[in-house]
Homo-oligomer: A and B are copies of this chain.
Amino acid sequence: MKTKAVFYHAGCPVCVAAEQNIAAALDPTRFDVEIVHLGRAPDRIAEAERAGVKSVPALVIQRAVYHINFGAALADLKK
């Protein structure tokens, strides 16, 4: 059974680079990676917040949150 990983981003340049180099680099035999663009799916911001995401891009693997560089604060996506 694969581990679920969710990569939250907002389409910013920092996000796109991280998506291409980190999210896409995970081992596909062990991880199912879902890419969530919070700008296009604002209804999932609350879910990201509950997972502990403070800024994007961020990768959530099981219950651990990894903020990768800094593209935008989650709070700013709600404006």
- What's the number of copies of this chain in the assembled complex? 2
- A69 vs B67: C-alpha distance when bound (angstroms): 5
Residue in B closest to A29 when the chains form the complex, CB atoms:
B27
Listed by A's residue number, 26 A-B pairs whose Cβ atoms lie within 8 Å are A5-B25, A17-B64, A18-B66, A21-B61, A21-B62, A21-B64, A21-B66, A22-B59, A22-B61, A22-B66, A25-B26, A25-B27, A25-B30, A25-B31, A25-B61, A26-B26, A26-B27, A27-B27, A27-B28, A27-B29, A65-B69, A66-B68, A66-B69, A67-B68, A67-B69, A68-B68
A residues lining the B interface (CB < 8 Å): 5, 17-18, 21-22, 25-31, 59, 61-62, 64-69
